[in-house]
Amino acid sequence: MKTLAMAALVLGIAALTAHAATIDGKWISEKQVGDADGKKYDHESIFTLKNTDGVLTGTAVQASKAPWMKELTGRTVEVSDGKFEGERFSFKLKIENKNGVRISVYEGTVEGDQLKGTLKFKGIGITEPFSAKRVN
């Protein structure tokens, strides 16, 4: 009976480990952004993320045809202040441009092959939904 209980315990732990959320890899977020000209533009962000003992690191590359994104498109930005615990993640992107530094705060959960949460733009009071799909 002890052997059966031990086998069930080992299988249960293995099942939990197999289903543990992982954030490592490449993710793509696609959305529409507006501009002063009143038009909407496609905007894509590619995140490459790695979790090491709860510290989330990585990079982001954004691309958009929106006029305000011209100097930022294609530039690699390092993830900062990244954390990952269980299924929850948070990190910041600090983007420098001619107007100063813009800080974007990403928070949410890993749900299978999707990231879901919020994106907060510090200093301008905008919060919006955030989602990304795993690509590898």
pLDDT digits (tens, 9 = 90+) for 15-60: 343 446 899 999 999 998 888 888 998 889 999 999 999 999 999 9
pLDDT at site 73: 85
pLDDT at residue 1 is higher than 60? no
2 band by pLDDT with thresholds 50, 70 and 90: low
pLDDT at residue 122 is higher than 60? yes
pLDDT at site 87: 97
Structure tokens at 127: 């919060």
Question: Does the domain spanning 22-134 belong to CATH 2.40.128.120?
Answer: yes
H/E element, 9: helix 2-18
Query: CA-CA distances (angstroms) from residue 86 to 22, 40, 59, 90?
Result: 9, 36, 21, 12
- Say if residues 87 and 79 touch (Cβ distance below 8 Å): no
* pTM (two decimals): 0.81
125 vs 78, higher pLDDT: 78
- Say if residues 29 and 131 touch (Cβ distance below 8 Å): yes
Q: Is 41 left (phi over 0), alpha (psi -120 to 50) or beta?
A: beta
pLDDT at site 26: 97
Structure tokens at 3: 């052997």
Quote the strand ranges of the chain, DSSP E.
25-34, 40-52, 55-64, 76-85, 88-97, 100-111, 114-121, 126-134
Structure tokens at 44: 């894509």
